[in-house]
Structure 1
Amino acid sequence: MSLRLLPFLLSLALVAGCSRSEGVDGAAPGGNLGDVPAAQWQPLPLAPAVSAEVQAARDRILGPGATDPATVKLWWYGVSSFIASAGGHLFLFDAWESVGLQEDYVPIGREELAAIQPEAILIGHGHFDHAADAGYVAGHTGAALVAGQTVCNTARERAAQLGAMAAFPCLVLGSRESPGPGGLQSLRLWRDLPPLQVLQHIHSAVDPSDLLTGGLPLIFVPQVLSYLEHLNTDPQEIAGFLQALTDDGLVGQPQGGTWAYHLRVGDFSLLWHDSTGPIGDEEPEGPAIQAALGGFPGCVDVQVGAIVGFGMVTSGLRDSTLYVASAHPQLFIPSHHDAWAPVLGGGAAAYETQWRNALASLEHPPELDYLRDPLDYMVPRVFRVADPRWKEVMPGSACE
Structure 2
Amino acid sequence: MTTPAAPTTRRTVLRGAASLGAVPFLLPVGTADAAPRRKRPPRAPRAMVRARRRIFGAANVHTRTGAVRRDRVLLSWVGCAGFALAIDGEVLLLDAWLPRGIHGGRVPTSVAELAALRPRAILIGHGHFDHAADAHRIAELSGAVVVGTAQHIAQVRAKASTKVRGLVVGDEADPHGTVRRARLGSVRLTAVRHPHSTPKPPDLSDPHLPLLPIPDPLTPLLHPPTLDDCAGLLTGLVEDAEGGSLLYQLRVPGFTLVWHDTVGPLKEDAPRVRRVLRRLPRPDLHVGAIQGFGQITNGLRDVRHYVEDVGGTVFVPSHHDDWGAPLIASPGSGYRGPLETEFRRIPEARRPRLRFLSDPHDYVRPDRLTFTRRGRHSRW
Note the alpha carbon deviations across 1:271-292, whole angstroms, 9 max, x for none: 0000000111xx2521x11112
CA distance in 2, matches of 1:213, 1:266: 39
CA contact (8 A) 2:200 2:265 kept: no
CA contact (8 A) 2:102 2:229 kept: no
In structure 2, the partner of 1:133 is: 134
Whether 1:198 aligns to 2:185 is no
In structure 1, the partner of 2:326 is: 342
Whether 1:176 aligns to 2:162 is no
Note the alpha carbon deviations across 1:28-67, whole angstroms, 9 max, x for none: xxxxxxxxxxxxxxxxxxxx98423322332244332242
CA distance in 2, matches of 1:49, 1:289: 46
Whether 1:307 aligns to 2:300 is no
Output the TM-score relative to the length of structure 1. 0.76
Q: How many residues align?
A: 323
Quote the offset at 1:152 in angstroms. Answer: 1.2
CA contact (8 A) 1:198 1:260 kept: yes
CA contact (8 A) 2:169 2:182 kept: no
CA distance in 2, matches of 1:53, 1:107: 17
In structure 2, the partner of 1:14 is: none
- Partner amino acid, structure 2, of 1:223: D
**Aligned residue among 329, 332, 353 for 2:337:** 353
In structure 2, the partner of 1:27 is: none
Compare CA radii of gyration and give the structure with the larger one: 2
CA, structure 1 residues 310+95, in 2 after alignment: closer, same or farther (shift >3 Å)? same
Whether 1:59 aligns to 2:53 is yes
Whether 1:220 aligns to 2:203 is no
Match of 2:249, SS state, is: strand
In structure 2, the partner of 1:321 is: 304
Quote the offset at 1:325 in angstroms. Answer: 0.7
CA contact (8 A) 2:308 2:346 kept: yes
In structure 2, the partner of 1:244 is: 236
Structure 2: runs of 5+ lacking an equivalent:
1-41, 62-67
CA, structure 1 residues 109+338, in 2 after alignment: closer, same or farther (shift >3 Å)? same
Output the TM-score relative to the length of structure 2. 0.80
Whether 1:382 aligns to 2:377 is no
- Partner amino acid, structure 1, of 2:181: S
Note the alpha carbon deviations across 1:226-269, whole angstroms, 9 max, x for none: 2221121x2233323322223443xxxx2x21001111121211
Structure 1: runs of 5+ lacking an equivalent:
1-47, 389-400
**Aligned residue among 222, 246, 249 for 1:262:** 249
Match of 2:304, SS state, is: helix
CA distance in 2, matches of 1:129, 1:362: 29
Match of 1:57, SS state, is: helix
CA distance in 2, matches of 1:116, 1:229: 28
Match of 2:262, SS state, is: coil
CA contact (8 A) 2:169 2:181 kept: no
Note the alpha carbon deviations across 1:71-116, whole angstroms, 9 max, x for none: 1110001000000000101110000011111011111121211122
Whether 1:273 aligns to 2:274 is no
- Partner amino acid, structure 1, of 2:146: L
Match of 1:228, SS state, is: helix
- Partner amino acid, structure 2, of 1:203: H
Output the aligned Cα RMSD. 2.1
CA contact (8 A) 2:195 2:269 kept: no
CA contact (8 A) 1:145 1:152 kept: yes
CA distance in 1, matches of 2:214, 2:48: 42
Quote the offset at 1:386 in angstroms. Answer: 2.0
In structure 2, the partner of 1:331 is: 314
Match of 1:203, SS state, is: coil
